[in-house]
Structure 1
Amino acid sequence: MRYIIIGAGAIGGTVGGRLAESGHDVVLVARGAHYEAVRERGLRVRTSDGTREHRLPVIQTPAELGELRPDDVLFLAVKTQDCEAALDAWSGRPVAGGGTAGEVLPLVCAQNGVESERIALRRFRRVYGMCVWLPATHVEPGSVSAAGAPYTGILHIGRYPKGTDDTARLVAADLEKSKLLAPVVADVMRWKYGKLLSNLANAIEAVTGPLSGDEAVALYRRARAEGEAVLAAAGIEAVSEQEQKETRGDRIRLEPLDGSERGGGSSWQSLSRGTGTIEADYLNGEITLLGRLHGVPTPVNATLQSVANAFARERRAAGSMPVAELLGLVAQAEERAGQRAGDRAGDRAQERPS
């Protein structure tokens, strides 16, 4: 199979590099300065077992690749906010032997959040979810780094909305040969919802810096408690923190990479690169959405979503807001939510017959 990595950033670049290292056919899709750097110098992938330069085909648009092959696997690794444009660009591309990519090719959604699979299923018949646990960094054009060892990460894969098949098992086998654990699961979205709850910390880290203090950690626990309440109200099951921890076990440890410190997760990296966008609408915003649908207040996540989006829009420096300032904004939102709840209670009381 040939792997077309749509979005060769931290996750896509690392997976593409590992697949290429183990002998698989890989095409990278990148843009801007990252595309130019990879085209001119190759993709530099730093891992615990060294740094490798991969001279791989790299394109910006599907038209540059021409007709797709029947054995192609599309590996979607752009941020969720960029999914629509990427899927529109690729779904209608012709495949040798007949049909379009959306009709015949498998599409693997390797993003945080739970929305990209729904977006993809409108355009692609064969959609696979992937729950990504792969501590990787991309802040410098042409370079990615991943500190996991001896395996680089764990990538649960399964059909969307549920189930498994031979394609999932073949992809998993290729990943396993490439120093990436890849359990094939029939309930992949359960894993992705569990990861979603963990990713509610991303906005806090992005705007205030690493979650090293008690106040920041406590704020994350409050955001997570809202998320758990929302998922319970919606009847959505998610893997627990304990199950995730047990699955990773001691099979992956994080090793510092010389000259390549990992400053933060995916949202922090978006702010550091000054992309102008961030994935908060599909992380904290997913909890906000479900809360509104099911009548569960989510002032903590709504505030984190709003502040993270403002940081991205205004291109403010990652980690530049004091935790105390963020806590103050959350307190104001909680006060407003309490007032609205009191107003609704008062309205209901007035509606009761005397």
Structure 2
Amino acid sequence: MKIAVLGAGGVGGYFGARLAAAGYDVTFVARGKHLEAMRRNGLRVSSPLGDLVVETPKVVEDVSAVDKVDLVLVAVKLWDTEAAAKSLKPLVDQGAAVLSFQNGVHKDEILAKYVPKASIIGGVCYIAAVISEPGVIAHSGAMQKLVFGEYDGSRSVRVEAFYQACVKAGITAEISDNIGRLIWEKFVFLVGLSGTTASIRKSIGPIRENPRTRAFLLQVMDEVVAVGRAKGVDLPVNFAEDRLAFCDTIPATMTSSMHQDLERGNRLELPWLSGGVAEFGAQLNIPTPKNTAIADILELYAAGTHQ
């Protein structure tokens, strides 16, 4: 497989590096100091599962410089999805499939505005990884998992091929026959984790231990379930309780990328997380008071504070 990775941050950088180290033809699309460092020193990954270095990664500044590929992995921040989707048409016209591992439930709808739905594979990823410094990806914890599948549930040749690539690269991977529901299942947890850790400014440990903040976390996730069910997603009524039990199993120090972006003064994915839930709720006449409050609390930080 020839693979392009659009966005070489924590997600794209980590999984792309694993695939490149396994011998796959991977082209990274990166920018700024990260791009310069990758060209100068290679792409480095520090991980409890083993460090690795891609000495001379194929890295370009723009999608237009990517040669014909079989698969594009999209891992840019959500606010860049529209621009990314527009740029992918030439690669898709040459036969590339598109697989987004971005956060949330809006991503594939945005992609489908610019590329045929048949080109899109659904996917979710589970990892805690960041750019610790230009050219270096820091992976924390042992979790590094990709789940993906065709929206019609079929086990296609392209999905099987990418699964085999992941296995060879040492990436935990699964093929799902109901990827649409799985994306929403992750969204329930993601909105709960991101909304509470960012608005409370604490990791998940203290939040789940205090009765009031624990109840708040459950209510945030319960609103996502209600919205998802109203949109026709096959989520159990009590799925938020299932995700709260899952929150009890993760490291107490775990936080969200939105919380980290907030602390660094970076732009936030708020409009597609709690903000997106509040927007869906308004459209569907479903009450979302907790997610609306989170969106209101974080609104002044959403554009970043570096400006």
* Structure 2 residue corresponding to 1:204, chosen from 175, 191, 196: 196
SS in 1 for 2:51: strand
CA contact (8 A) 1:10 1:145 kept: yes
**Matches of 1:188 and 1:23, distance apart in 2:** 28
In structure 2, what is the equivalent of residue 19 of structure 1?
Answer: 19
- Unaligned regions of 5+ residues in structure 1, if any? 94-99, 255-261, 317-354
**Matches of 2:169 and 2:144, distance apart in 1:** 10
**Matches of 2:4 and 2:161, distance apart in 1:** 15
CA contact (8 A) 2:274 2:291 kept: yes
- Unaligned regions of 5+ residues in structure 2, if any? none
* Structure 2 residue corresponding to 1:285, chosen from 272, 275, 279: 275
Correspondences of 1:101-120 after superposition (within 5 Å):
101-102=92-93, 104-120=95-111
The Cα of 1:102 is off from its aligned counterpart by 4.4
- Which amino acid is 1:204 matched to? T
**Matches of 1:104 and 1:187, distance apart in 2:** 24
After superposition, the Cα gap between the structure-2 partners of 1:287 and 1:166, relative to the gap in structure 1 and judged at 3 Å, is same
After superposition, the Cα gap between the structure-2 partners of 1:245 and 1:225, relative to the gap in structure 1 and judged at 3 Å, is closer
**Matches of 1:234 and 1:198, distance apart in 2:** 17
SS in 2 for 1:136: strand
CA contact (8 A) 2:269 2:302 kept: no
The Cα of 1:119 is off from its aligned counterpart by 1.1
**Matches of 1:225 and 1:313, distance apart in 2:** 27
In structure 1, what is the equivalent of residue 34 of structure 2?
Answer: 34
Correspondences of 1:131-170 after superposition (within 5 Å):
131-149=124-142, 152-160=143-151, 162-170=153-161
The Cα of 1:45 is off from its aligned counterpart by 0.3
Task: Please list the CA deviations of residues 275-302 of structure 1 after superposition, one character each: whole Å capped at 9, or x if unmatched.
Answer: 3x21121111232122112211112101
Q: Please, which moves more after superposition, 73-82 or 45-54?
A: 45-54
- Which amino acid is 1:88 matched to? K
TM-score (norm 1): 0.75
Correspondences of 1:225-244 after superposition (within 5 Å):
225-238=222-235, 240=239
CA contact (8 A) 1:203 1:308 kept: no
Q: CA RMSD in A?
A: 2.7
After superposition, the Cα gap between the structure-2 partners of 1:245 and 1:3, relative to the gap in structure 1 and judged at 3 Å, is farther
2:196 matched to 1:191? no
SS in 2 for 1:147: strand
Task: Please list the CA deviations of residues 213-261 of structure 1 after superposition, one character each: whole Å capped at 9, or x if unmatched.
Answer: 21433321110121122223333124847988999xx9xx98xxxxxxx
Q: Determine which structure has more spread, i.e. the larger CA radius of gyration.
A: 1
The Cα of 1:143 is off from its aligned counterpart by 1.4
In structure 1, what is the equivalent of residue 73 of structure 2?
Answer: 75
**Matches of 1:228 and 1:246, distance apart in 2:** 15
TM-score (norm 2): 0.85
- Which amino acid is 2:51 matched to? T
In structure 1, what is the equivalent of residue 51 of structure 2?
Answer: 51
Percentage of pairs with the same residue: 26
* Structure 1 residue corresponding to 2:284, chosen from 284, 289, 294: 294
Task: Please list the CA deviations of residues 26-48 of structure 1 after superposition, one character each: whole Å capped at 9, or x if unmatched.
Answer: 11111122212212211110111
**Matches of 2:245 and 2:169, distance apart in 1:** 22
Task: Please list the CA deviations of residues 128-164 of structure 1 after superposition, one character each: whole Å capped at 9, or x if unmatched.
Answer: 1111112222342221122343xx5221101236543
**Matches of 1:18 and 1:217, distance apart in 2:** 36
CA contact (8 A) 2:218 2:244 kept: no
In structure 1, what is the equivalent of residue 7 of structure 2?
Answer: 7
